[in-house]
């Protein structure tokens, strides 16, 4: 890891620690106020836990692992699930305060949640449009820049994007990343900045900008040269931030998930190598 990547990694890591404890403190202090969002938090935590567990079961022979390693895996999954519950509950509360859509089709007992729901038909067209634009932009960018994938990522596909190297575990892993990142960054951090720095309404673009920068930094070291990955991720982050503002978190999760699924499939169909086009995760 070079010095630039190390600096980016430290910024990303320290910001992650800060936001985790900030959300943990808020969740602890406002437990009763956040109760209307309990079912959503539990659902998000359950989805993440199930998907992560499935990815592990597909990738490893659990019987070959020691009891200590299995215990460690379970603890890590539970911690991630708790984090997901906290970010979901606090983030939804922030979105409600900001009067931004939640894009959920189910209702809970509190009217303040019902008032900000969107139906599926209201956000599918912009969701598909952003997903398509992100995919086309990434393909064109990588066609012209021809980046190299970092060694840390090559191990996932044995260096090449071939059908035999793309496993079900990879598929689930990248869906997990899409789900978790959107809740943490768009629902959580973006709204935290809007609330606590008073970047509301006409100033909400600042929250989108800073969140996109942090999200971009989190992807450092996956491509060489670094600027190509930044050129890909940053504008997509801005689009996702805008999409959340207009259509809610489910739109963002769908875009991110579609992106992570479709790009690898295109690589296999077109028989490109992973060094020619690399997908976001």
Q: Identify the residue with better confidence: 270 or 183.
A: 183
CB burial of 184-210 (b: ≥16 within 10 Å; e: otherwise) equals bbbbbbbbbbbbeeebbeeebeebbbb
Note whether residue 200 is domain-resident: yes
Note whether residue 116 is domain-resident: yes
Indicate whether 120 pLDDT > 60. Answer: yes
Phi first, then psi: give them for residue 149, nearest 5 degrees: -80, 145
Task: Identify whether the C-beta of residue 103 lies closer than 8 Å to the C-beta of residue 124.
Answer: no
Q: Identify the residue with better confidence: 62 or 151.
A: 62
Q: Identify the residue with better confidence: 144 or 157.
A: 144
* pLDDT value of position 123: 80
Q: How far apart are CA 110 and CA 91, in angstroms?
A: 16
**Residue range(s) defining the domain that contains residue 160:** 3-270
Confidence of residue 102 (pLDDT cuts 50, 70, 90): low
Note whether residue 128 is domain-resident: yes
**Nearest-CA neighbor of 153 among 8, 274, 16, 24?**
274
Stated pTM of the model: 0.86
Average pLDDT over residues 89-113: 71
Q: How far apart are CA 14 and CA 69, in angstroms?
A: 27
Confidence of residue 117 (pLDDT cuts 50, 70, 90): low
Note whether residue 276 is domain-resident: no
Count of domains forming the chain: 1
Indicate whether 153 pLDDT > 80. Answer: no
Q: How far apart are CA 50 and CA 55, in angstroms?
A: 9
The radius of gyration of the chain's CA atoms, rounded to the nearest angstrom, is 19
**Nearest-CA neighbor of 223 among 259, 277, 168, 183?**
277
Residue 224: strand, helix, or coil: strand
Q: Are strands 148-149 and 223-224 parallel, antiparallel or unpaired?
A: antiparallel
Indicate whether 160 pLDDT > 70. Answer: no
Q: Which two tokens stand for residue 101?
A: 């859509």
Residue 221: strand, helix, or coil: coil
Residue 223: strand, helix, or coil: strand
- For the chain, the 3-state helix, strand and coil shares in percent, each to the nearest 5, are 75, 0, 25
Note whether residue 74 is domain-resident: yes
Q: How far apart are CA 71 and CA 187, in angstroms?
A: 30
Residue 157: strand, helix, or coil: coil
Note whether residue 186 is domain-resident: yes
Using the Cα atoms of residue 30, residue 36, residue 38 and residue 44 in order, give the sign of their dihedral. Answer: negative
Q: How far apart are CA 247 and CA 244, in angstroms?
A: 5
Q: How far is CA 36 from CA 89, 97, 107, 113, 162, in A?
A: 8, 13, 10, 8, 46
| pLDDT tens per residue across span 238-260 | 999 999 999 889 999 999 999 98
Q: Which two tokens stand for residue 28?
A: 């602890």
C-alpha dihedral (244, 246, 247, 251), degrees to nearest 10: -40
Bond before 43 cis per omega within 30 degrees? no
Confidence of residue 276 (pLDDT cuts 50, 70, 90): very low
* pLDDT value of position 258: 94
Task: Identify whether the C-beta of residue 250 lies closer than 8 Å to the C-beta of residue 103.
Answer: yes
Q: Report angle CA 28, 41, 109 to the nearest 5 degrees.
A: 100
Note whether residue 54 is domain-resident: yes
| pLDDT tens per residue across span 176-200 | 999 999 999 999 999 999 999 999 9
Note whether residue 12 is domain-resident: yes
* pLDDT value of position 165: 56
């Amino acid at each position: 890891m070079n010095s630039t990547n190390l600096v980016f990694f430290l910024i990303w890591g320290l910001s992650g620690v800060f936001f985790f404890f900030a959300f943990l403190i808020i969740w602890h202090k406002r437990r009763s106020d956040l109760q209307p969002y309990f079912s959503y938090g539990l659902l998000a935590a359950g989805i993440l836990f199930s998907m992560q567990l499935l990815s592990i079961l597909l990738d490893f022979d659990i019987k070959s692992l020691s009891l200590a390693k299995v215990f460690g895996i379970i603890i890590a999954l539970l911690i991630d699930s708790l984090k997901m519950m906290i970010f979901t509950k606090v983030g939804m509360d922030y979105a409600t305060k900001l009067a931004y859509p939640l894009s959920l089709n189910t209702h809970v007992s509190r009217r303040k949640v019902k008032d900000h729901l969107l139906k599926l038909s209201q956000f599918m067209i912009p969701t598909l449009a952003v997903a398509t634009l992100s995919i086309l932009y990434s393909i064109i960018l990588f066609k012209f820049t021809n980046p190299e994938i970092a060694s840390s990522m090559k191990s996932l596909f044995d260096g090449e994007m071939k059908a035999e190297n793309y496993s079900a575990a990879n598929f689930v892993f990248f869906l997990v990343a899409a789900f978790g990142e959107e809740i943490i960054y768009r629902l959580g951090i973006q709204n935290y900045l809007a609330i606590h720095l008073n970047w509301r309404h006409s100033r909400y673009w600042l929250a989108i900008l800073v969140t996109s920068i942090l999200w971009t930094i989190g992807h450092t070291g996956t491509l060489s040269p670094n600027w190509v990955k930044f050129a890909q991720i940053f504008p997509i982050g801005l689009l996702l931030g805008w999409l959340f503002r207009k259509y809610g978190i489910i739109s963002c999760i769908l875009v991110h998930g579609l992106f992570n699924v479709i790009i690898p499939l295109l690589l296999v169909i077109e028989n490109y190598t992973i060094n020619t086009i690399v997908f976001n995760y």
